[in-house]
Chain A
Amino acid sequence: MSNTKQVKEFSTPTTNVVQIESSVALKIIKHATDYYPTLVSGPLLGVDKDETLTVSHSFPYSIYNESIEGSSFKLKTNQRFQNELLELSKNTGVAAQFIGWYQCSVSSNFFNNHIIDSLLSLQRSNPNAILIIHDSSKINTNSVLSLRAFRLSEAFLNVYKAANNSTNKFSTALLLENNLTHENIFEELPVSIHNSHLVSLMLHQLLSENESSLNTQDYNQIYKNNDIVSNSFDSLSLNNSKYSTGIIDKLFDSVDSYHYDLNNYNYYQRQLSRELQKIQQWKAKSKIENANRVKNGQKEIDLENDWKSIYKLPNEPQRFTNLLVSASITGFCKDLEVNTTSELIKSFAIQKGLDI
């Protein structure tokens, strides 16, 4: 999908709401659950109309070695697969275009180069492209549904555009200029699930069957828990510690890479301050010399510019990795916080209930 020969400019997306058909949501979750904990992915087909981007079809990519999120997007075989799909869909009268991918991930482990690169090239050809992230560990361990839609934010695209023109990509100055922090690499779009009328009808039918006798639905809910429409209250049981252990592992890995990156940066800062110090000394010396030169009627040394020919400032390292890792870490921490908060609420409730 990359369009390297003819570089198109990024244009502003026209859609700001994502609507997923219930059949697509089901397919994504089924694919993810069948292969859990492998991180599966696949292409999404759909249409954009006014402000809504409708995801009407999804297909699973075949499983190779998808240990890293986004690594499957650029595979040649998958791109061929995608093109075949589009052609077939056209043949069967489905008017849909390729609008992005879905990708399973653990918490916010999806901030990596593969994802950003793929999205960059896709958003260039289709500004409305999205990435749907499904947290498969959340639904498998804590039965919490998590489907989120993302798109690279305007701030990020601005920095990327500016970075392409200058030698130093992703410098602190650029980030500051465009207000890009680790919090806003992606723009999250609200996701809604849409039912076709037939699905709505079927659900109503199921519900009315339940309501035909007194209290049956409530009874089912308490007693049997086996129909589609009722709530199973899975969320009320205590959380599975597997989930937090998984996240903590990832968190530690990220903190390690954060440190590694930070060391580089610290090294640069030390270099810089050393050089700056030297320049200061040189300037002080030059001042005295200038005073002498004035006395002797010679040309003064330009304090602001001449040091540049003598000293060279170190190049600032890219802030890109730092951004991504910070974003991951923040995501992990948020998930952990939410997880522990709900765990505490439940624990205290049980404690009260047991009277201990």
Chain B
Amino acid sequence: MKSDILHLVKPSSLASTALSPLTVNVVIQPTALFSIFEASLRIQEGNSRVIGTLLGSRSDDNSNIDIRDAYIVQHNEQGDNVTVNEYNHKTFLNIYKKTSPKIMIVGWFSTISSLDIYSSLINNFYLDGNYSIPIVHLTLDSIDPSSNLPSVPKFDTYISTMVGKSAVNDQNSTVFVPIPHTLNYSSQEKNLLSWVSKAKDQSNSSVLLPSGQSTELINLSNDLKDVDDLIDKVSNYVSQVVNGEIEGDDEVGKYLLSNIPASPNNLGISKIEHLFNSHIQDTLMLEYLASSIKTQIELSAKLTTVV
């Protein structure tokens, strides 16, 4: 790509990806996002930002990009030049490849919202002469420019494409096209996040997990309390609507109507009763089994020390 060719519109390979960026679907996993958040605190002296590699997977036609993880790469900003610590970049990549061999570089992040000359230089480093696959650039904006204090984090994703004549010393002709992204999390991650979000109101921003083995029961009682509150809220809302104090939302009404009288119609009531009773019997038996084995073990431990 160092020949004197003028890139205007590159058909075929580029057209499907870089030039029609709306077809690229970027999915960010919370693990990557949280790593970037953490990385943003590790800014080096003399640098304006923290940069790092985004790892993940992409579909065969490059239309879906999944960002799974991120790590910091050291770099140095000096005047018009930027040097990226390639050694660290490569070794970290190898470390991640060891555990999940299929993971690949899908882009890079920087913790500054603006795009400048460094951005395109670093982008060239990540492109590494391969212009046919899209490289995602994610920017994290977490500093309020007017007050220089941390602000609510915002992140944007871009797909880069080269424009103009690219010569050896003139590599800053990159266009970053903003593309939409979605956050994706599994139900297991969501479970954790619901704990994490409990910590946000604490003064030390941490939440204590229930220790021991009775977590399930604690969760259950908390959730039942929540349901209770919700029912109160809904009935409050309904009575307000009925009294004409506020205007009701049709959607909510429809939803309530279809869900409240829910009852099992498909099976006969006697059949359900039978199933339920046997289920309860089974559960009771399990409980009995568990507690009797536990008692025996305790007894045996006590008795051997006596002998």
Size category of the binding interface on chain B: 35 or more
**Residue-wise interface mask of A (202-215) relative to B, using a CB-CB cutoff of 8 A (1 in contact, 0 not):** 11110100000011
The answer to whether A88 and B91 have CB atoms under 8 Å apart is: yes
Distance A266 CA – B211 CA, assembled complex (angstroms): 36
Does chain A have a CB within 8 A of B20?
no
Distance A193 CA – B194 CA, assembled complex (angstroms): 11
Select one of A198, A207, A333 contacting B291, CB under 8 A: A333
Q: Which stretch, B39-47, B116-124, B130-138, B172-180, touches the partner chain A?
A: B39-47
Contacting residues, chain A, for B191 (C-beta < 8 A): 29, 139, 143-145, 232, 234
The answer to whether A233 and B195 have CB atoms under 8 Å apart is: no
Does chain A have a CB within 8 A of B125?
no
Does chain A have a CB within 8 A of B98?
yes
Contacting residues, chain B, for A181 (C-beta < 8 A): 301
The answer to whether A193 and B188 have CB atoms under 8 Å apart is: no
CB closest residue in chain B, given A204: B200
The answer to whether A140 and B188 have CB atoms under 8 Å apart is: yes
The answer to whether A30 and B283 have CB atoms under 8 Å apart is: no
The answer to whether A233 and B227 have CB atoms under 8 Å apart is: yes
CB closest residue in chain B, given A203: B200
Distance A344 CA – B276 CA, assembled complex (angstroms): 11
Q: A181-B301, A192-B209, A338-B213 are in contact. Are A330 and B294 (CB under 8 A)?
A: yes
Q: State how many residues of chain A have any CB contact under 8 Å with chain B.
A: 110
CB distance from A138 to the nearest CB of B (A): 8
| 5 nearest A-B residue pairs (beta carbon) | A23-B34, A336-B290, A333-B294, A194-B206, A340-B287
* Residues of chain B whose beta carbon lies under 8 Å from any beta carbon of chain A: 29-31, 34-35, 37-38, 40-42, 44, 72, 74, 85, 88, 91-92, 95, 98-100, 142, 150-153, 183, 185-197, 199-200, 204-209, 211-217, 219-220, 223-224, 226-227, 230, 233-234, 237, 246, 249, 251-252, 255, 263-264, 269, 272-273, 276, 279-280, 283-284, 286-287, 289-291, 293-294, 297-298, 300-301, 304-305, 307
Contacting residues, chain B, for A339 (C-beta < 8 A): 216, 286
Contacting residues, chain A, for B237 (C-beta < 8 A): 215
* Residues of chain A whose beta carbon lies under 8 Å from any beta carbon of chain B: 19, 21-23, 25-27, 29-30, 32-33, 59-63, 81, 84-85, 88, 91-94, 108, 138-140, 142-148, 172, 175-176, 181-182, 188-205, 207, 214-215, 218-219, 221-223, 228-236, 244, 248, 251, 255, 258, 262, 265, 269, 319, 322, 326, 329-348, 350-351, 354, 356
The answer to whether B287 and A341 have CB atoms under 8 Å apart is: yes
The answer to whether A251 and B293 have CB atoms under 8 Å apart is: yes
